[in-house]
Chain A
Amino acid sequence: MRNYGKPVTDDVVREFLPLDIALYSVWMPGDPTTAAIQSTRLDPVCTYDEIIELDDVHAACAAWLLRSGAPVFRDANARRTYTEALEGRLRQGLAPASARDAALQASDRSSMVKAAVE
């Protein structure tokens, strides 16, 4: 398993997660080491699985997203429903933050660890 080799700061996290934070979501059944991070990219709108190969950076990224209020789901299907809604809003031309908020309203938030917007 590879590691960053030194403390993973928020700046490092942002190097690995450079998009608008509103474009990220997380499936996290347990602690941050269990997280699967997704990004919904633009042009064209498509959701990607982000595979970060450095384990400590990966965990730090998940923790940062949780701390920063990104949508984090315990249930994988709830997260998929959310990202599909997010994609739809982005295709409609909404800005990332607005699209996220609208997608959350349309999602099952019962499994969310922490909602970005309540």
Chain B
Amino acid sequence: MGLLDSVGGFVKDAGDGVARAAESGYEAAGDTFSTALEHAKAGASAVAASVRDADAKNEQIGAWIDSKEQQLEHKVDQGRAWLREHGGVAGKIASAQIGLAEGVGVSLYDAGKGIVKLADGVNSLTNPLEWAANPDANIARLKSGVEAAATLGKVVNLARPTSWIADPKGNAQLAGKLWDSAATSFNKDPSKFIGNAAGTIGLFFVPGGQGGAVAGDVGKAAAITGDIGKAAAITGDVGKAAAITGDVGKAAAVTGDVGKATAVTGDVGRATAVTGDAGKATAVTEDVGKAARVTGDAGKADVFETGRMGNIEPPRTPGLGERAALSELVEQGAIPGAKGVILTGVRDTAELYGDMFKLSQQNGIEYALTREGDNLVLRSGSANKVAIPSHAEPLAHTHPFDPATELPQALPSRADVNVLNDRWNRAPNGPPPASDIIWGSGPDQVTRYHATGLDPIPDPTKGGLKPGRTW
């Protein structure tokens, strides 16, 4: 049996199974679906033995469908309708049947395009095209289902084509983590998982479950043009996108992966043809601009050269001006990034700190407030790190936490103190620098800490620094 025959056989079997399930209705679907899944597992084994690379699998399957079995699409369309209606249950059955715990993750998915294809769950999520094709629905589902596993600020990156250009490794790792989280949640309490996060697992298996078209490869990306609203989400400024797509070589230099760079740039290029939503297009335009700068200048690409799992710095909110009121930033959940925003209309420190913490907690990343001349500047970092200009006066920074798994972190880290020590050593005749840690939205949830010089940092477990106290 040839490679394509193996893949094709699986797809055909799976498609038949889904189609039969669609005909049988929900109650009867279990057995039929199980039969299909048995076929799927057999097919998966054959395919896995033959085709190890997920991209190759997609390509082969897509080619097979296009060239050999167009008639299957009709059946699969029926299956898609069924999956749309019972996506969560289908996901449950599928995942249970094929051994989600073992991480096999082979499933029926990608029903949106009318293609039933074989996919590894992780590899599905690590395909930038899938995120580009259906970003809103994907994020919405993840927000409700996997918020504890990864903050929305991180997840948002997955839906940005340019983010995949900039940080393919980091995004792929994050996607993998989301998959692991879903698998863990499912195995821990399947019934609850189905109730709370069916959409999430449905996302993994049926990305187009809400009716959005999802294309599995660059060639099929054009299919998403049937849904202008969603396609627009990946649409950027034509000129800037062209700057990227026009020079795949440089993009590849940034990503270190020609294949991914090509896939993303090709997708962006096609997507520009369907721009129709200026608002959403703007959301991507700034990222595209950044990517263009990166691709245009290898020397400036350093920040993007590695993955940053656990420390992904969400990009600056597109369209954010140089100045803004903090209330506006909170309202839009803005991310100022390292560039920062000059705050306007600041009157009350307690209110300022409270809003900073809300914003920080909302995005799951640290925010830092500095004084620079007459200005108060707000910057953002990542979940466990923030950077402030060395010339700026560090007034305060936040310590966000995951309420599900962490306690508020009221104490300074060693780096917090060392940074102040560094400043004091540069200006030893002045008073020891001090700064605030904002670890809650209340006025008493602030810890002021000072430089210690070269003295050892007090041990908080032995009566050193306590929340609300100074030393």
Interfacial residues, chain A to chain B (CB-CB below 8 A)? 1-2, 12, 14-16, 18-20, 23, 27, 29-30, 33-39, 41-43, 46-55, 57-59, 75-77, 79-80, 83, 95-96
Known pairs A12-B310, A18-B303, A18-B308; A53 contacts B366 (CB<8 A):
yes
Which residues of the other chain, B, contact A14 by a CB distance below 8 angstroms?
A: 306-307
Which residues of the other chain, A, contact B293 by a CB distance below 8 angstroms?
A: 43
Q: How far is the CB of B180 from chain A (nearest CB, A)?
A: 15
| Docked complex Cα distance between A41 and B422 (Å) | 19
Which residues of the other chain, B, contact A15 by a CB distance below 8 angstroms?
A: 170, 306-311
List CB contacts (< 8 Å) of B305-325 with chain A: 305-311
Q: Are B419 and A36 in contact (CB under 8 A)?
A: yes
| Docked complex Cα distance between A15 and B311 (Å) | 6
Which residues of the other chain, B, contact A2 by a CB distance below 8 angstroms?
A: 384, 409, 413
| 19 A-B pairs with C-beta separation under 8 A | A2-B413, A15-B306, A15-B309, A18-B304, A23-B302, A29-B421, A34-B454, A36-B422, A42-B299, A42-B302, A43-B300, A47-B390, A49-B388, A50-B385, A51-B386, A51-B416, A55-B413, A58-B413, A95-B299
Q: Are B425 and A29 in contact (CB under 8 A)?
A: yes
| Docked complex Cα distance between A81 and B57 (Å) | 55
Q: How far is the CB of B26 from chain A (nearest CB, A)?
A: 43
New contact pairs (11) apart from A27-B425, A51-B388, CB-CB < 8 Å: A14-B307, A16-B384, A18-B304, A20-B302, A29-B425, A41-B387, A49-B394, A49-B422, A51-B387, A52-B385, A53-B416
Q: Are A54 and B384 in contact (CB under 8 A)?
A: yes
Which residues of the other chain, A, contact B300 by a CB distance below 8 angstroms?
A: 42-43
Q: How far is the CB of B177 from chain A (nearest CB, A)?
A: 12
Which residues of the other chain, A, contact B307 by a CB distance below 8 angstroms?
A: 14-15, 18
Query: Of all chain A residues, which has the CB nearest B457?
Result: A33
Q: Are A53 and B426 in contact (CB under 8 A)?
A: no
Q: Are A18 and B387 in contact (CB under 8 A)?
A: no
Q: Secondary structure of the B side of the interface?
A: mixed
Q: How far is the CB of A109 from chain B (nearest CB, A)?
A: 18
Q: Does B460 contact A (CB under 8 A)?
A: yes
Q: Are A52 and B384 in contact (CB under 8 A)?
A: yes
How many residues belonging to B are interface residues under a CB distance threshold of 8 Å?
44
Among A19, A51, A79, A83, contact of B397 (Cβ-Cβ < 8 Å): A51
Query: Of all chain A residues, which has the CB nearest B294?
Result: A43
Q: How far is the CB of A45 from chain B (nearest CB, A)?
A: 10
Q: Does B418 contact A (CB under 8 A)?
A: yes
Q: Does B113 contact A (CB under 8 A)?
A: no
Q: Are A1 and B390 in contact (CB under 8 A)?
A: no
Which residues of the other chain, B, contact A41 by a CB distance below 8 angstroms?
A: 303, 338, 387
Q: Does B399 contact A (CB under 8 A)?
A: yes
Q: How far is the CB of B397 from chain A (nearest CB, A)?
A: 7
Query: Of all chain A residues, which has the CB nearest B308?
Result: A15
Q: How far is the CB of A113 from chain B (nearest CB, A)?
A: 15
| Docked complex Cα distance between A19 and B409 (Å) | 27
Which residues of the other chain, B, contact A77 by a CB distance below 8 angstroms?
A: 425-426
Q: Are A96 and B299 in contact (CB under 8 A)?
A: yes
| Docked complex Cα distance between A53 and B397 (Å) | 11
Across chains A and B, which 8 residue pairs bring their CB atoms closest together, nearest first? A76-B425, A36-B422, A20-B302, A48-B387, A36-B418, A53-B413, A49-B419, A58-B415
Q: Are B413 and A51 in contact (CB under 8 A)?
A: yes
Q: Does B188 contact A (CB under 8 A)?
A: no
Known pairs A49-B390, A51-B416, A52-B385; A36 contacts B310 (CB<8 A):
no
Q: Are B413 and A52 in contact (CB under 8 A)?
A: yes
Q: Are B385 and A76 in contact (CB under 8 A)?
A: no
Query: Of all chain A residues, which has the CB nearest B293?
Result: A43
Query: Of all chain A residues, which has the CB nearest B170?
Result: A15
